[in-house]
């Protein structure tokens, strides 16, 4: 590790002010940032912790929407999001107990790791990402691997998840890291079905439009028989080829639809 300044503000306004310097970086649960600091892959001069801001912590339900504070850890989402069972179940599948009690929703979405779970929940739910300056639709927020619509100095304060008629997240995990080799979040809102895929594409989380159309017409696993995702642009590594991950997209989508029922 190396020397740096550390601040833990108690209000969003103070956090934004603290991040106004040229070399400051926001810190959520630190599950990604701290390892990169240890390896000196990232060396900000100041870390601004967001976990002490009370208005950014907790889970609430109002008018068919689950709102999760950006500083809320995964374990608290699992415990508090009972009104949206698929979201609570997703939170309970992330990492191990240590990760779930430190990692935060806002940190995950701000980092936008291509194999993270929360991006699929946000995109699959048509969630709204709330920041200190605006609200961003999930369809506009994710912009490629580790890339988002957040501007310099902008921080996520909460995420609003509309509660669907039914939903499920199914993850084919890498057993050591517990990241998704391929994960699929399916959510049904009336006659509209959203299918979001994480872990498979080099571009990060994406919606599978063909499956959405088929499932909106017939919400059953067999509705996507004959459909497939191209292996072009899929991740290829020691854990699986692009073709393997493309195949998993279909498999996990069927599992998610069956579980949602």
The pLDDT assigned to 34 comes to 66
pLDDT tens, residue order, the chain (261 aa)? 667 778 888 999 988 888 887 787 777 877 766 666 676 766 776 788 888 999 999 999 999 999 999 999 999 999 999 999 999 999 999 988 999 999 999 999 999 999 999 999 999 999 999 999 999 999 999 999 999 999 988 999 999 999 999 999 999 988 888 889 999 999 999 999 999 999 999 999 999 999 999 999 999 999 999 999 999 999 999 999 999 999 999 999 999 999 998
Level-2 CATH architecture, domain 166-260: 2-Layer Sandwich (3.30)
Q: State the fold for domain 54-162.
A: 3.30.465
Fold classification of 5-49 is 3.30.43
Q: Contact at 8 Å (CB) between 184 and 120?
A: yes
Predicted TM-score (pTM) of the model is 0.93
Kindly report, as residue ranges, where domains of CATH 3.30.465.10 are found in the chain: 54-162
């Amino acid at each position: 590790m190396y020397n740096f300044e550390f601040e833990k503000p108690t209000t969003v306004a103070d956090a934004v002010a603290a991040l106004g310097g040229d070399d400051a970086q926001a810190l959520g649960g630190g599950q990604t940032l701290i390892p990169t600091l240890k390896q000196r892959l990232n060396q900000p001069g100041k870390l601004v912790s967001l976990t002490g801001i009370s208005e950014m912590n907790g889970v609430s339900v109002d008018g068919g929407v689950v709102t999760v504070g950006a500083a809320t850890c995964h374990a608290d989402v699992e415990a508090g999001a009972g009104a949206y069972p698929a979201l609570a179940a997703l939170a309970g599948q992330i990492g191990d107990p240590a990760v779930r009690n430190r990692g935060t929703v806002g940190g995950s979405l701000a980092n936008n790791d291509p194999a993270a779970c929360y991006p699929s929940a946000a995109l699959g739910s048509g969630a709204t990402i709330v920041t200190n300056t605006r609200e961003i639709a999930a369809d506009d927020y994710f912009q490629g691997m580790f890339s988002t619509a957040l501007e310099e100095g902008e921080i996520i304060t909460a995420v609003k998840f509309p509660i669907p008629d039914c939903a499920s997240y199914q993850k084919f995990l890498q057993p050591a890291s517990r990241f998704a080799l391929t994960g699929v979040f399916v959510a049904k809102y009336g006659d509209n079905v959203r299918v979001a895929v994480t872990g498979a594409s080099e571009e990060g989380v994406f919606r599978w439009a063909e499956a959405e159309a088929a499932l909106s017409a017939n919400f059953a696993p067999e509705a996507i028989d004959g459909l497939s995702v191209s292996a072009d642009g899929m991740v290829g590594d020691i854990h699986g080829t692009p073709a393997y991950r493309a195949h998993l997209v279909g498999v996990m989508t069927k599992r998610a639809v069956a579980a949602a029922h």
